[in-house]
Chain A
Amino acid sequence: MITDTAPGPARGRLARFARLARPAGPLAAAAAGRLRGGDLGALPVVAALAVIAAVFGTLNGRFLSAENLTNLALQMAATGTIALGVVIVLLLGEIDLSVGSVSGLCAVVMTVLNVRHGVPAGLAVLLALGAAVLVGLLHGLMFTMLAMPSFVVTLSGLIGWQGLLLYLLGHEGTVNLPFDGPIARLSDTWLPAWLSWLAVAALAAAALAAALVTRRLRARADLPVPPLGWALARAGALAAVLAAVVAVLNGDRGVPLTLVIFGSLVVLLDLALRGTAAGRWIYAVGGSAEAARRAGISVTRIRILGFAAASLLAGAGASSPPAGSPPSTRARAAATSC
């Protein structure tokens, strides 16, 4: 496993893999061509994860235990949601350093509204997300209208919003959410085993159905159709990965709701980026802002949208708290995560 990631043999194996894939049809041949051309897709990430699992698993036997992996999944949900926003800004070819502060600020806004002012939890979350959008709009306007480099805008955001966060927290430096409040319970909800297995089956079926419908539509439109085996293999692989995750998590407390929310956000963002014009324009602006401008795309609007979305997702990351720790310390945890 580990030797696979060494550069020398890895390239040989990739090439062999690419050659194996060739007979499958023109689309597979194209994919193999991209692979040979150095476009590795997600392979390096998968390889890095394998290395991390192997190294830490040998260093500490408990690393790969169900309990630890569950805790990792919980922590991943919050950080991952924030990272989704950073991805959007990176696609634009810019950087957002402020997401940690914005996330913490949102957590504090929500908690202060909920605990000190008695605003209902749902409304408090919405208000905090609204604040995040305003912050992102401000970043976007400073970047586009004042022509400030995104590095400078968001670095000052990182410092400034942390200051506002500390001001809102007041003298004590912490605000505790009640253990049994709806927000705290959000991070301590686990899917029953039957429901998570049902979800795996439904997702795999949906992926397969989508692939089959796409094949049908492509055939009707006289476009090259990927081989049937390809669609089956992809759906099968998805099912296998999801089943493995659910099996591990069920070995401990089950699938946490926060992970489901995070997963849904990932899927939704992917669909939005690839399936909508705004998503494609984000890629276009990142690839060549001048080309996008000449194609009639409002580069300014897309950039502001990107920064607003990044801050919104940073705020959403605050709403799905790192609940591996006691589920009362959202604000503190988020603040330290800055």
Chain B
Amino acid sequence: MTAPGGGPAGGTSGTSGPSGTGGGTSGTGGKAGAPPVLSVRGIKKRYGGVQALDGVNLEVSAGEVVALVGDNGAGKSTLVKVVSGVTVPDAGEIAFGGRPVRVARPHDAQALGISTVHQDLALCENLDVVANLFLGSEKRRWGLLGHLRMERAARELLASLDVRIRDIRAPVAALSGGQRQSVAISRALLGDPRLVLLDEPTAALGVEQTAQVLDLVRRLRDRGLAVVVISHNLADVRAVSDRIAVLRLGRDAGVFRTAETSREAVVAAITGAGVTT
């Protein structure tokens, strides 16, 4: 457990040179002054013979949506897993709120204020909506679950996000795909995170549900959260993001300001077709 409270945070992960080679363009986008909420430097991760991440950098500030794009196998999901504590990187540094931290377990990330919605949602289908929302962080008193407190908080949260589910006491198995996605995103907001990671939040949704989710992402930004969205869909990315970070084969392939960048430039960075702005 990395005590988030101050100190020079002694033995963080080995110093391991950030290897600032590829992809230059660090493009610090956030509002000036405060340090970025999340700053990732020189992350490396190898799975067997595959170098999934090879010295990746990323910065996200409060009130900013950064889209993380790249082709299949570019390392997007691996980077999210590293930041959310699901996997431990081989090398690299993570700073949260300007302080170096160690995120070795999902619990560490939660304790820091990093929430993640994984692509497979990670819901327990046999549990109801309330139980899924509070899974792993149940409200308790004297070891007993606070059913009513959790149900009430769940209703308030879903109402504030305009998520409509008829019976929140029914097992999640009975919900539609869009409702499940809504539950998963809502869960990410419990515990007042400072950073929300969304892995392909619109991948399995229809047009209307996609629009709702993108609205939801903008609402997160308006609340002052730092948001990282992974997506394949460049239209969604351009609609919602402030900056676009491109990964290619596990390396940085450029960071772009969404408003000032053409779609072609992003596509070129994704495919590696030369033309780096």
Contacts and interface: CB of A to CB of B under 8 A. Distances in A.
Given A30-B166, A30-B167, A223-B152, A294 B106 contact: yes
B146 to A, nearest CB: 10
A288 B136 CA distance: 13
Contacts of B137: 295-296
A87 B123 CA distance: 22
A265 B116 CA distance: 39
Given A217-B148, A277-B140, A287-B127, A295 B122 contact: yes
B107 A280 contact: no
Given A222-B152, A287-B124, A276 B144 contact: yes
Nearest to B145: A275
Given A222-B152, A296-B106, A287 B166 contact: no
Contacts of A223: 148, 151-152, 155
B144 A288 contact: no
B90 interface: no
A280 B131 contact: yes
Interface centre among A30, A283, A287, A292 (most CB of B within 10 A): A287
Contacts of A33: 166-167, 170
A293 interface: yes
A221 B123 CA distance: 26
A30 B170 CA distance: 8
Contacts of A281: 136
Contacts of B110: 296
Interface string A206-226: 000000000001100111000
A216 to B, nearest CB: 11
A27 B105 CA distance: 39
A232 interface: no
A34 interface: yes
Contact of B136 (A287, A290, A292): A292
Interface string A280-308: 11011011101111111100000000000
Interface in B95-149: 105-107, 110, 116, 118, 120-127, 131, 135-138, 140, 143-145, 147-149
A23 interface: no
B86 A294 contact: yes
Contacts of A276: 143-145
B40 to A, nearest CB: 20
A291 B122 contact: yes
B151 A284 contact: no
B179 to A, nearest CB: 14
A37 interface: yes
B135 A291 contact: yes
Nearest to B152: A221
B143 to A, nearest CB: 6
In terms of DSSP, what is the predominant structure of the interface of chain B? loop
A252 to B, nearest CB: 39
B169 interface: yes
Nearest to B131: A280
Contacts of B123: 288, 291
Contacts of A297: 135-136
A177 B66 CA distance: 74
Contacts of A295: 106, 122, 135-137
Interface centre among A284, A292, A296 (most CB of B within 10 A): A296
Nearest to A286: B126
B152 A292 contact: no
A290 B147 CA distance: 24
Contacts of A294: 84, 86, 106, 116, 118, 122
B19 to A, nearest CB: 29
A283 B124 contact: yes
Interface string A144-160: 00000000000000000
Interface string B74-97: 000000000010100000000000
Interface of B: 84, 86, 105-107, 110, 116, 118, 120-127, 131, 135-138, 140, 143-145, 147-149, 151-152, 155, 166-167, 169-171, 174
Given A217-B148, A283-B127, A288-B125, 10 more contacts: A221-B152, A275-B147, A276-B143, A281-B136, A283-B124, A284-B135, A290-B122, A294-B106, A295-B135, A295-B136
8 contacts: A34-B170, A222-B152, A277-B140, A280-B145, A288-B122, A291-B121, A294-B106, A294-B118
Interface of A: 27, 30, 33-34, 37, 39, 217-218, 221-223, 274-277, 280-281, 283-284, 286-288, 290-297
